[in-house]
Amino acid sequence: MSQIKNILDGWRNAFLKDDEIEALARIRLDACENCPSSKENIIDLVICGSCGCPLLAKSRAPEDLCPRGRWGETLEELTTLREEETDRAVINELNGRIDKIQTDQKISTQ
């Protein structure tokens, strides 16, 4: 899928407000908060320092990816990120996300 289509999907999702998309955006934006890549604020619009996309839209585009690989959505991807990471704060944040996924999985199987 093209980057332009992803961002257009993200803008659409930002205005239509779907609970699942909003949950995805919160997880992604949490990862962005701890990212060492600088972010620019242009007229109250936060822009990713790595790719230049507006995070409001990019975080809500389900098919889009973080250019720094920080949006692992599955337990396996998050575990891999944690194993490769050296920054303690990022490791703690990833551990919290892994715990949440494991808790959600336990709840859904009950």
pLDDT value for 20:
80
DSSP conformation class of 45:
E
Where in the sequence is the domain holding 13, given as residue range(s)?
Answer: 1-68
Q: Is the dihedral of CA 89, 53, 22, 61 positive or negative?
A: negative
pLDDT value for 9:
92
Q: Kindly state whether residues 63 and 25 are assigned to the same domain.
A: yes
Q: Kindly state whether residues 13 and 45 are assigned to the same domain.
A: yes
Mean pLDDT per block of 10 residues along the chain (110 residues) reads 84 89 86 80 83 91 87 63 72 80 70
> pTM of the entire structure?
0.61
Q: Kindly state whether residues 16 and 54 are assigned to the same domain.
A: yes
DSSP conformation class of 74:
S
Provide the number of structural domains found in the chain: 2
pLDDT value for 8:
92
Long-range contact set of residues 29-34: C-beta below 8 Å, sequence gap at least 24: 29/55, 29/59, 30/93, 30/97, 31/66, 31/70, 31/71, 31/93, 31/97, 32/59, 32/66, 32/70, 34/89, 34/90, 34/93
